[in-house]
Amino acid sequence: MSDFDIGRWRPAPFLPEADSRDGSLTFVVATLCFLACLTLIAVLATNRAARDWTSQLDGQATIIVRPKANETPDGAAARAAETLAGVPGVAEARALEKEKAEALIAPWLGDADLSDLPVPRLVAVQLTKTAPADAIALDRALKAQGLDAVVDDHSVWMADIQHAAQVARWVGMAVFGLIATAAAAVVAFATRAGLAARREVVEVLHLSGAEDGFIAGLFQLRFAKMAAIAGLFGAGAAAIMGAILRLAGGGQGLTPVLPITWLDLLAVLPAPLAAGAVAALAARLTAQAMIRDLA
What residues make contact with other proteins under the rule CB under 8 A?
1-4, 6-7, 9-17, 200-201, 203-205, 207-212, 214, 292, 295
| Residues paired with 256 in a beta bridge | none
Burial of 25 (0-12, 13-18, 19+ CB in 10 A): buried
Instruction: Tell me how far, at minimum, the Cβ of 208 lies from other proteins, in Å.
Output: 5
Q: Of 130 and 208, which CB lies nearer to other proteins in the complex structure?
A: 208
Instruction: Tell me how far, at minimum, the Cβ of 189 lies from other proteins, in Å.
Output: 23
The 3-class SS string of the chain reads CCCCCHHHCCCCCCCCCCCCCHHHHHHHHHHHHHHHHHHHHHHHHHHHHHHHHHHHHCCEEEEEEECCCCCCHHHHHHHHHHHHHCCCCEEEEEECCHHHHHHHHHHHHCCCCCCCCCCCEEEEEEECCCCCCCHHHHHHHHHHCCCEEEEECCHHHHHHHHHHHHHHHHHHHHHHHHHHHHHHHHHHHHHHHHHHHCHHHHHHHHHCCCCHHHHHHHHHHHHHHHHHHHHHHHHHHHHHHHHHHHHHCHHHCCCCCCCCCHHHHHHHCCHHHHHHHHHHHHHHHHHHHHHHCCC
Q: Of 174 and 207, which CB lies nearer to other proteins in the complex structure?
A: 207
CB 123 within 8 A of CB 77: yes
Q: Of 6 and 131, which CB lies nearer to other proteins in the complex structure?
A: 6
Q: Of 19 and 58, which CB lies nearer to other proteins in the complex structure?
A: 19
Instruction: Tell me how far, at minimum, the Cβ of 3 lies from other proteins, in Å.
Output: 7
Q: Of 164 and 197, which CB lies nearer to other proteins in the complex structure?
A: 197
Instruction: Tell me how far, at minimum, the Cβ of 260 lies from other proteins, in Å.
Output: 47
d(CA 130, CA 202): 67
CB 93 within 8 A of CB 124: yes
Instruction: Tell me how far, at minimum, the Cβ of 2 lies from other proteins, in Å.
Output: 4
Instruction: Tell me how far, at minimum, the Cβ of 284 lies from other proteins, in Å.
Output: 15
Q: Of 30 and 202, which CB lies nearer to other proteins in the complex structure?
A: 202
Q: Of 180 and 201, which CB lies nearer to other proteins in the complex structure?
A: 201
Q: Of 3 and 116, which CB lies nearer to other proteins in the complex structure?
A: 3
Instruction: Tell me how far, at minimum, the Cβ of 15 lies from other proteins, in Å.
Output: 8
Instruction: Tell me how far, at minimum, the Cβ of 199 lies from other proteins, in Å.
Output: 11
